[in-house]
Structure 1
Amino acid sequence: MNNAIRNEFEQWIISLKDSSLNEIQTKLLNLLISNFDTILPLGTAKSQRAKKIAELIEKNRSTLAADFPLVSPNIGYSTDRINNISELEIGPFRGFNSSEKFSFDTNFTFLYGPNGSGKSSFCEGLEYALLDEIEEASAKRILIKDYIKNTSKQEGKKPIVYTKNGDRNEAVPVQANQILYKFSFIEKNRIDAFARITATTNSDQKDRIATLFGLDSFSDFVDGFTNNFAPQLTLEPKLANEFSESQKTNNENIAKLKEVNESIAVIAECWTTLFKEINNSDVSTKESLKIFLKGEDGVSGKIYELQQLKASEIQKDIVIENFSEIQEKVSGLIETSKTITKKLTEFQINSSDLNFNDLYSALIGIKDISADKCPACDTPLTQVVINPFQKAITEIEKLKSLSKLQEDLPSLCRSAVKDINILNIQINKVNTDITSMNIKEILVIPFVSDVEYIDIKNVPTWLPTLSEELNSVLNALPEITLISERISSFNLNLQEKRTEKEKVDTEIQKFEEYETRRVELSTQEIQLNKEKSEIESSISKFNEENSEKLVAIENEKLLISEFNNYIEAYDILIGNLKNYRDKLPVKLSFGLSEKALEYYNIINQNDPEFEKLDFLSIPSTPGDKIEIRFKGIKNKEDALHILSEGHIKVLGLSILLSKISNDNLGFIIFDDVVNAIDDDHRSGIAELLTTHPDFKTKQQIITSHGEQFINKLEHKLGASAASKLVRHYRFFPSDSIEYRGIKVSTGDTKHYILQAEENYTKNSLKDAASKCRQAVESLSETIWKKIIKERNINLTVKIRSPGFQPELSTVVDSLIKELKAIDPNTTIFNKLKELKEKYPWSILNKGTHEQDDLPEFERSDIKNVIEIIKEIDTGLFNFSLTTVVK
């Protein structure tokens, strides 16, 4: 059984291959499989297995492989399943002193003998040869080599099972394989255990099915893994506890360092948040933030700029009209200079006449005194070429316009001087605007030189220069269209500055808050880093002074952590293993309900109809019950609560047979199963095994301590089939042999007709007649059961006295009557009628009763009776009421 447990354990490991196992879980799997034989016999008593696993972990943890275990159940065994076995070579083995050979060249091999005659040794030989182990040896924890040892020879050999090579019909050894052949064995012990385990809980019902399928040993092995593994590994930090007082301050420092580091991390996040809030591409570090806010000199920077903006006066908008006014003013001055030039020229031309102004005035003054002669030469006026008085009057008139020039020129010059002053003021204003706009393509306008009017004489000294300068100013003036666009843009900028200035208080407050936060963060960071440095220094000093202890404590801590990982891995894996174990019975019994129901009813065919089932459900999930419903009843019941022990055994056998049918196994080995089933159901078992299409073609090796069951099997087959399909082996009882061991011989047929023929051949006519009577009794019972199953009839029979069986003669008469009513053309009817009418009934009676006065048997009569009985036997197998009942 050790191999079976190991195989199932390895099957579970394979089921984990696609799971996401961590390294520790994989290592633990490797530890369990590599030490399987060590932990197998240990259980939960005194925590033996748990302690051993803990010991193995401590010893091997550093060398355990982390790769998934390489397991292969039944490695080295053939995976080709055979459908029949031809021979068993056994001995010395258990009770077999010497080598024996058993041939299985027919469909049925019947082996019978009393308890203790060697049948169990025979079955264990097949078990060892086919499964590579013996369950009983494992259960008793006896080494297989000791268990199979024959006490007389003091040695034991592994039996060999052969099968026929399909191509050359040669006998070849069969390789053992638990997985392929374990369900070919049906054992009495399993059926008994299935019926006797209590079923008070769903878990108990699961255990029943596990026992039936031979999983109880694996289940017990799995139960050997405790659910409380943790106490087996050292989880208490002894070194750390002893050093705890010394380490308390250091632990406080470590905790404080953690807090400081967390605070530094928070400060770092605050810096990041501050950078994001400022949202300036040039600000990404603490230093760049400081320069941005306060400048490299600690004074300039954004805050200073905002303060300057708040204190600054923003110029008024530039007025485009200022440029137009200059143009107008220059144009006016040009016109004025032209007028001055013209008048000045005129004045200069006529200015010599001004010298005679007094003369002409004097002449006019003395005109009345010397009205008729020239006052200068006394020449009579009548004789002069030009009248001096008239000329004086004419010239005086001319000098009046020159006087006006003398008056106008100073006025014009003074006006020009004034306008020049005004123009220069305008030019200065415009130049200031041009400079503030900082437009390279627009040059500043040249000033006009200041002039001073003294008198008309000095006008020619500055008038030409003025004209040139005015033209320069005119040429320097930009185009109004160009300057207008630039002024509009500049004025818009000025407006934006005014708007910004209106917000400057809010901005100053915001950036001053940024600066406050910057300073606070810097201060906190400096303080925290200082504190961190001091704590790290203390920790470092502590570590240096206690380095060896700390290493030991750290190793202890790592070991405990590793042990905790193993505990977690153990809990997960063993939990998975137990879940796998719980699901196994369900997995193995999947899809068996329908067949099991059919087989159950066949085995119980002689029970009342209300004892039969029309529903059976084998659990499909762990925890479910085996549910049944009797015919004619609506309610479903828990089978293990309501069925008798005998019927539970029949149910167990039905489930095992349905497993064989479902898995399409080619041969079945029954280990004295009939001992587990009560007498009432053995006929149904014989019917199922010999006539049902699922089994009648399978190879069956059946051991039984009771010859009656073998008899039933042969009679279910019929005489013709039994003679061809059955091989017998008889085990002698131990009190009939002269030495310790097992004695086997080829057995005799148990079919009454075949026994009658054998006795007839030996000329033992009385024994032949006796077997003929027994054959008629068996056939009559079979015919009676067939009829009563389909037709509700009562046979009229005679019984000599209470407790006696009905007289055979009256049973046959009643059967003849009923068969005639059913169909008078059947072989059974005609041959029974012939048996009763043609031959004296005393032939059958003489074979049974001891009477001295009876005449000798006629050999021909015995032969003819045997032939009639054989025809009835053959006809019975071809007789079906469903084809004849109207």
Structure 2
Amino acid sequence: MASAEHDYQYFIQWLHRPDGGVSEDARRFGRLVLDNFEGVSATTRNRSQRSTHLVGLARRQFPAIDAGQPQLGAIAGGAGWRWQRLSHLSLGPFRGFRNVEDFDLARRIVLFYGPNGSGKTSLCEALEFALLGAVDEGAQKRIDAAQYLRNIHEDRFAPPQLAAFDARGQRVVVQADADAYRFCFIEKNRIDSFSRIAAKPAGQKTELIAALFGMDNFNEFVGQFNESIDAQLALVPTQGQELARRRQAIAHDTEMLAGEAANVAAFDQAEREYAEAFQAGLTYIQLQQMVGSADAPGRLQVLTEVLNQPAPALYSVRQQDLLEAFQAADVANDLVEEISAQLVLQQDDAAYQDLYAAVLKLQAQSPDHCPACETAIAGEPHVHTDPFIKATQGLEQLRELTLLKQRHHAAVDQRRVASDALQAYFANFAQRIGASVDSEHEVFRYVANPGVQPGTTWWKTGYNPVAGGVSLSQRTVDYARQLEERDAATRQSLEERAQLIAERDRLSEARIALAEHATRRRQVSDAIAQARQRVDVFEAQNADLIAAVVQEQTHIAAETRIQAAYNEFLGLLRLYRSELPGTLMAGLNNFAMELYNEFNVRDAVEDKLAALHLPVTGDGRIELSFQGAPDLRVDALQVLSEGHVRCLGLAILLAKASNIQAPTVIFDDAINAIDHEHRQGIREALFESERFANTQIIVTCHSNEFIKDIQNHVDHTQWVSYTFRHHTGDHHPRVLRDLPPQAYLVNARAAVDRGDHRGALQPSRQALEMLANKIWRWLGRCDLGVISVKLAGVGDQPSLRNLCDGIRSRLNGANTFEHVDKQPLLDALGQVVGIPEQNFLWQYLNKGTHEEQDRDDFDEGQVERLVALLEGMNALRLRNR
């Protein structure tokens, strides 16, 4: 059908769709191929022939190609249907037609019958050229159109002239439009190719849809593009590689120069972060000023000078501590004096206590005699009073005195501790203020030697007033208060000094950090300067090679641009090809399935299709489900026979033509691609159903029986028939236009009209046989196909009379069957084969088909009646329920 160039033009339109997102360079490459299509299509992928050709074209033309959408004219315009039915074709000289031939195409059905080689293909190619602007067969064979279409005996060709009727019934000239009319053609070769590809292994079926829709040329054209054009492009930078090899010697220098800005930025960032971390809001320059230098002293130098002065000392003497020491000594002494006074009052008791204690100590030596008089304790004579008991009782009575003595000893110890503590305080005091017995000030001398005498109240001496009426102890306490006040001031000064020390230490650390940072920055700067010097020397020494690399980069950039454009272009081209099945098959599933089932009307119900799933990509599968197992989805090409595959291909093509509302469908010998078993279903679906009642159908066929069946089952006013025969020496097909039709009832009516009554009866019987089978099939579609028929013997076929009786009985017995054609059928059958069994009409049907001697003439009225009844039966539409 359409040439590969036409399909490629359609791809160019697809490249320029607004939402495609295609780069301009990919569009340029597409335009490059379009402008050089003939030369590109003449190449193949073998030995990268196409890649080599494309690279040569791209180097010369690519930069100057316009990336805009090209003006392709009407060839890819798809203008649509400007007419309703073809009306006339004039062709010749053209291919097999040497002379001019005119064909009236005004009927709904146009039949061309003839043997192979009689001119049918030339006729279809004339229609193809008139409708599409090109003949695909010539393009496939790579023959120039003028050479391919010429008649070899006239050595020329004239473009066929094709006319049609528009919607107003006016005759118009048909203008070629491949987009609009490409699916009007259904060819035997395409169905054959479809069945052959279906028999290939699964991996080789990508051309399935392309072959079916006549796009195998385009599919082959796309398949000849090489996967890559890299091998034909100069993509390797040899000069650049040499320069890169040499640059390895200064790679570190180059890297350092490349990172110069980053290094400077890193140093600057480190400076900012360090200054901000040292003090919020402080800049690095301000920090440097604070650290200062010998030439420009800063805060650090000021702090160092201040802190080099000695720090003030603390006396660590508190007035309260001294007072508490005096008070503790006084309190301890008062307690000793108090207890001593109590002991004085009990001096006698103390003597007895000692006596009693001494007696008890002697009890161990003389337990039975008095220790004083040695009188026995018991016996005769014995002491009046037991001295040991008396001593024990006496000591018990003097227990309180014992406790008082113990308290006295404790008080003395306490006074000693207080005295020692006071003495220690005076010693610490003297040390703190540097006092000695030779000090100038009296208080210092007192502190250095307060007159300590162990076991005495030596401190009380300081309580005595001296000159001025103030005791030394009081003056010492007052001096301690003064020192305490001085310590408070000194502590505040030390706290301030500690803050200055911390500040100085931080600035000292910062000085070290700033010095280290400056050193690192200087080192990096020196290294960069040295690297730049070495790089400059390298650039000067390799100037020629660097210039060559620049030119090489420009060339490689151009080559890389071509590479990228080709890769994108090829991906898009293959994507477009893979999307074609989805585009072509869109909306065809149900319609194609219904047509397939009608083609296979004789198949069992469970073997008909419940669902059909056509592929949406080039490598997709045609899948289907049978009514016997509607949930099981299988690969159609694995389970269908070759005959069923051919029916499926024809169904898809017809569904496509119907889907685009094609006004005319042209069958180029396509019926002969289908086996005899399925031709009846195809004929009924095409010519007898309502599906294509408004579609013009042009058929070329070398099956006389198929033509005969069409003429018999379609009203003769809807069809016209041409017969082609081989030439008789003039090399021009014989076109027979006025041959008697093969339609039984048409021939019967013609015989009646000319008075040939016997001649009308034989086609009438043939017509009744045809009608009986037609009615029986109709009953089958209405679930009434089971009838009772008498047979003469085993293996015999039902006689026509028995078949008609069986049909009439089945209709009579179907009381619940209501149909508009039921009663007219019963009436007609009753008149033809009714009671009595040997009526005139049936006798005429029997006797009119046999030769008899001395036969009486047939009754003209009965013959007319019979033909009229059969015509009435044939006129019934016999639709389903």
Please report the TM-score for the alignment, with normalisation by the length of structure 1. Answer: 0.71
Deviation at 1:851, TM superposition (A): 4.7
- After superposition, the C-alpha distances for 1:516-542 in whole angstroms (9 at most, x for unaligned) are 233223322331232133223212321
Alignment of 1:813 onto 2:805: yes
CA distance in 1, matches of 2:569, 2:303: 71
Asked whether the equivalents of residues 787 and 806 of structure 2 are also in contact (C-alpha less than 8 Å), the reply is no
Deviation at 1:19, TM superposition (A): 4.1
CA distance in 2, matches of 1:506, 1:88: 112
2:347 alignment counterpart: none
Alignment of 1:262 onto 2:259: yes
Asked whether the equivalents of residues 29 and 69 of structure 1 are also in contact (C-alpha less than 8 Å), the reply is no
Asked whether the equivalents of residues 75 and 177 of structure 2 are also in contact (C-alpha less than 8 Å), the reply is no
Alignment of 1:562 onto 2:568: no
Asked whether the equivalents of residues 307 and 508 of structure 1 are also in contact (C-alpha less than 8 Å), the reply is no
1:424 alignment counterpart: none
Q: Give the alignment partner of residue 691 of structure 2, picking from 679, 694, 697.
A: 694
1:9 alignment counterpart: 11
Deviation at 1:307, TM superposition (A): 3.8
CA distance in 1, matches of 2:301, 2:72: 83
Amino acid at match of 2:786: I
Deviation at 1:724, TM superposition (A): 2.3
CA distance in 2, matches of 1:686, 1:249: 82
The 3-state SS of whatever aligns with 1:141 is coil
Structure 1, unmatched stretches of 5+, are 317-490
CA distance in 2, matches of 1:865, 1:139: 56
The 3-state SS of whatever aligns with 2:64 is coil
The 1:301/1:63 distance shift into structure 2, 3 A limit, reads: farther
Asked whether the equivalents of residues 107 and 725 of structure 1 are also in contact (C-alpha less than 8 Å), the reply is yes
Asked whether the equivalents of residues 206 and 585 of structure 1 are also in contact (C-alpha less than 8 Å), the reply is no
- After superposition, the C-alpha distances for 1:704-745 in whole angstroms (9 at most, x for unaligned) are 21232223223333xxxx2322222222x215x341022323
Deviation at 1:753, TM superposition (A): 0.5
1:777 alignment counterpart: 769
1:193 alignment counterpart: 193
CA distance in 2, matches of 1:312, 1:119: 128
Which structure 2 residues correspond to residues 818-857 of structure 1 after superposition, within 5 A?
Answer: 818-822=810-814, 826-836=823-833, 838-852=839-853, 854-857=855-858
Amino acid at match of 1:217: N
Amino acid at match of 1:554: V
Alignment of 1:226 onto 2:226: yes
- After superposition, the C-alpha distances for 1:55-99 in whole angstroms (9 at most, x for unaligned) are 11222344344x344355745856142332222232221112233
- After superposition, the C-alpha distances for 1:620-655 in whole angstroms (9 at most, x for unaligned) are 456443222222225332111011000111111111
2:610 alignment counterpart: 614
Percentage of matched positions with identical amino acids = 27
Q: Give the alignment partner of residue 585 of structure 1, picking from 577, 581, 586.
A: 581
Structure 2, unmatched stretches of 5+, are 314-489, 816-820
CA distance in 2, matches of 1:496, 1:598: 106
2:516 alignment counterpart: 517
Asked whether the equivalents of residues 267 and 525 of structure 1 are also in contact (C-alpha less than 8 Å), the reply is no
The 1:872/1:526 distance shift into structure 2, 3 A limit, reads: closer
CA distance in 1, matches of 2:776, 2:822: 18
Q: Which moved more, 1:174-183 or 1:619-628?
A: 619-628
Amino acid at match of 1:590: A
The 3-state SS of whatever aligns with 2:632 is coil
Deviation at 1:202, TM superposition (A): 5.5
Amino acid at match of 2:540: K
CA distance in 1, matches of 2:307, 2:87: 116
Asked whether the equivalents of residues 5 and 37 of structure 2 are also in contact (C-alpha less than 8 Å), the reply is no
The 1:767/1:21 distance shift into structure 2, 3 A limit, reads: same
Asked whether the equivalents of residues 131 and 175 of structure 2 are also in contact (C-alpha less than 8 Å), the reply is yes
Deviation at 1:225, TM superposition (A): 1.1
CA distance in 2, matches of 1:542, 1:288: 47
CA distance in 2, matches of 1:23, 1:644: 48
- After superposition, the C-alpha distances for 1:151-185 in whole angstroms (9 at most, x for unaligned) are 12211122232223445x43222222222111111
Asked whether the equivalents of residues 129 and 160 of structure 2 are also in contact (C-alpha less than 8 Å), the reply is yes
The 1:509/1:35 distance shift into structure 2, 3 A limit, reads: farther
The 1:764/1:18 distance shift into structure 2, 3 A limit, reads: same
CA distance in 1, matches of 2:306, 2:756: 145
Amino acid at match of 2:26: Q
Which structure 2 residues correspond to residues 488-567 of structure 1 after superposition, within 5 A?
Answer: 498=497, 500-544=499-543, 547=544, 549-567=545-563
Q: Which moved more, 1:95-104 or 1:307-316?
A: 307-316
The 1:22/1:628 distance shift into structure 2, 3 A limit, reads: closer
Alignment of 1:724 onto 2:717: yes
Amino acid at match of 1:220: E
Q: Give the alignment partner of residue 653 of structure 2, picking from 642, 656, 660.
A: 656
Which structure 2 residues correspond to residues 420-435 of structure 1 after superposition, within 5 A?
Answer: none
2:317 alignment counterpart: none
CA distance in 2, matches of 1:625, 1:49: 30
Asked whether the equivalents of residues 7 and 74 of structure 1 are also in contact (C-alpha less than 8 Å), the reply is no
Deviation at 1:674, TM superposition (A): 1.0
The 1:79/1:767 distance shift into structure 2, 3 A limit, reads: same
Deviation at 1:800, TM superposition (A): 7.8
2:674 alignment counterpart: 677
CA distance in 2, matches of 1:779, 1:75: 48
Deviation at 1:289, TM superposition (A): 7.6
Asked whether the equivalents of residues 254 and 539 of structure 1 are also in contact (C-alpha less than 8 Å), the reply is no
Alignment of 1:142 onto 2:143: yes
Amino acid at match of 1:745: L
Deviation at 1:273, TM superposition (A): 2.2
2:447 alignment counterpart: none
Deviation at 1:136, TM superposition (A): 1.0
CA distance in 1, matches of 2:823, 2:498: 126
Please report the TM-score for the alignment, with normalisation by the length of structure 2. Answer: 0.72
Asked whether the equivalents of residues 87 and 171 of structure 2 are also in contact (C-alpha less than 8 Å), the reply is yes
Q: Which moved more, 1:220-229 or 1:532-541?
A: 532-541
Q: Which moved more, 1:124-133 or 1:34-43?
A: 34-43
The 1:703/1:833 distance shift into structure 2, 3 A limit, reads: same
Amino acid at match of 1:582: S
The 1:510/1:213 distance shift into structure 2, 3 A limit, reads: farther
Which structure 2 residues correspond to residues 600-611 of structure 1 after superposition, within 5 A?
Answer: 600-611=596-607
CA distance in 2, matches of 1:45, 1:504: 85
1:476 alignment counterpart: none
Amino acid at match of 2:536: S
Asked whether the equivalents of residues 784 and 810 of structure 2 are also in contact (C-alpha less than 8 Å), the reply is no
Deviation at 1:759, TM superposition (A): 3.0
Which structure 2 residues correspond to residues 699-778 of structure 1 after superposition, within 5 A?
Answer: 699-717=696-714, 722-731=715-724, 733-734=725-726, 737-747=728-738, 748-778=740-770
Deviation at 1:839, TM superposition (A): 2.0
Amino acid at match of 2:188: K
Asked whether the equivalents of residues 86 and 105 of structure 2 are also in contact (C-alpha less than 8 Å), the reply is yes
1:373 alignment counterpart: none
Amino acid at match of 1:819: L
- After superposition, the C-alpha distances for 1:113-142 in whole angstroms (9 at most, x for unaligned) are 222111111111111111111111111111
1:643 alignment counterpart: 640
CA distance in 1, matches of 2:495, 2:736: 126
Q: CA RMSD in A?
A: 3.4
Asked whether the equivalents of residues 91 and 99 of structure 1 are also in contact (C-alpha less than 8 Å), the reply is yes
Amino acid at match of 1:216: D
The 3-state SS of whatever aligns with 1:814 is helix
